[in-house]
Amino acid sequence: MPPLMVAEHPTVDPTLAGAPAPIAPRVRADAQRNRERILEAARAAFSSGAEQVSLEAIARDAGVGIGTLYRHFPTRESLVEVVHRDGLALVVARATEMLGTHEPATALRLWMDDYADFVGRKRGMAESLRALSKAGVIDPSDTRALITETLQRFLDAGARAGTLRNDVRADDIAASLVGIFLAANSLQPGQAGRMLDLLFAGIRSGS
């Protein structure tokens, strides 16, 4: 009896068998672009001054469907968290950039305006930020500590350069900034900027 022959089943290249070529890299790129557009639209919407911003409006401004938004950010709070953390990281990074391109006193005054813009953008996220804080997802004390550390960098550099006072506490400046920002809604146009100028004048060396 001839030996039993076993049929061979070679591995078939799926692309030769009519299967579509892998598209994962393109899908990932498209998803990343959609996510960035959603975040960009959210940043603009939250900084518009409106106290309440709908997710539908953000999705529309981003040019995506509401389902796409929810796939990236299942809840309003998850979107707000990313916008908040990205904004805070950018404010801190701007300090390094400004200290590298301006003398310390000028850098600090420019950074104060950037920080004011960051706080202004948070008004449209206030309710969600309170919920995130209550849930322990975001700790306001961590934000205050990071801002205080950033201010200390300006003070240290300014003291070395002789342009900022060396007897001013960074946490006092941080508290003063918060006071100005909290009052901003009830101030006349341009008044917040003048108050920042007054605070800055008190920090300058020789003032």
The string of pLDDT tens digits covering residues 32-59 is 999 999 999 999 998 876 667 899 999 9
**How far apart, in Å, are the Cα atoms of 104 and each of 92, 165, 206?**
15, 11, 15
Burial zone of 144 (CB within 10 Å; 0-12 exposed, 13-18 middle, 19+ buried): middle
pLDDT digits (tens, 9 = 90+) for 157-168: 999 999 999 999
Q: 22-74, which class in CATH?
A: mainly alpha
CA separation for the pair 26, 40 (Å, rounded):
21
> Where are the extended beta strands (E) located within the chain?
none
Model pLDDT, residue 150: 97
pLDDT digits (tens, 9 = 90+) for 56-100: 999 999 999 999 999 999 999 999 999 999 999 999 999 999 999
| Residue 65 tokens, joined | 């469907």
pLDDT band at 24; cut points 50, 70, 90: low
Residue ranges matching CATH 1.10.10 in the chain: 22-74
Burial zone of 203 (CB within 10 Å; 0-12 exposed, 13-18 middle, 19+ buried): buried
Q: What percent of the chain has pLDDT over 90?
A: 64
pLDDT digits (tens, 9 = 90+) for 145-204: 999 999 999 999 999 999 999 999 999 999 999 999 888 766 677 888 899 999 999 999
| Residue 76 tokens, joined | 């309003």
pLDDT band at 25; cut points 50, 70, 90: low
Residue ranges matching CATH 1.10.357.10 in the chain: 76-203
DSSP per-residue letters across 15-32: TTTTPPPP-HHHHHHHHH
The CATH number of 76-203, from 1.10.357.10, 1.10.3470.10, 3.40.710.10, 3.10.20.90, is 1.10.357.10
Could you give the maximum distance between any two Cα atoms of the chain, in Å? 110
Neighbours of 146 (CB within 10 A): 15
Model pLDDT, residue 18: 46
pLDDT band at 16; cut points 50, 70, 90: very low
**Residue 128 above 70 pLDDT?**
yes
Model pLDDT, residue 6: 40
pLDDT band at 9; cut points 50, 70, 90: very low
Neighbours of 80 (CB within 10 A): 25
